[in-house]
Amino acid sequence: MPFEVAAFERWGYPIEFMYFIGAVECFGAIGLFIRRLSSLVSLCLSLFMLGAIVTHLVHQEWSMLVVASVISITAFWRGWSGREDVKALFKAMRK
């Protein structure tokens, strides 16, 4: 979308980075629908959103900073509330 391209250019990020971010977000969205992975994916996405938070903070985009922060906090809450699922997933992987 043109406004996304303009934003990434304004932030000084290469256009390939925009596609990488989009791919990670799409795979993350798919992962949220896989019950066994959803808690882990939520935690990962909450950490991934830290990049957006820092970008909006550096560029003083306060309204988008709030949006990115709410998304990150919500994703972290979802992941934290399912931490037993994450533990079980890692335990199963070690076997």
Distant-in-sequence contacts of 17-24, Cβ < 8 A, 24+ apart: 24/48
- Predicted confidence band at 1 (pLDDT cuts at 50, 70, 90)? confident
Residue-wise pLDDT tens digits, 13-67: 999 999 999 999 999 999 999 999 999 999 999 999 999 999 999 999 999 999 9
Residue-wise pLDDT tens digits, 75-86: 999 999 999 999
The rounded distance, in Å, linking the Cα atoms of 66 and 52 is 10
Q: DSSP 3-state assignment of 88?
A: helix
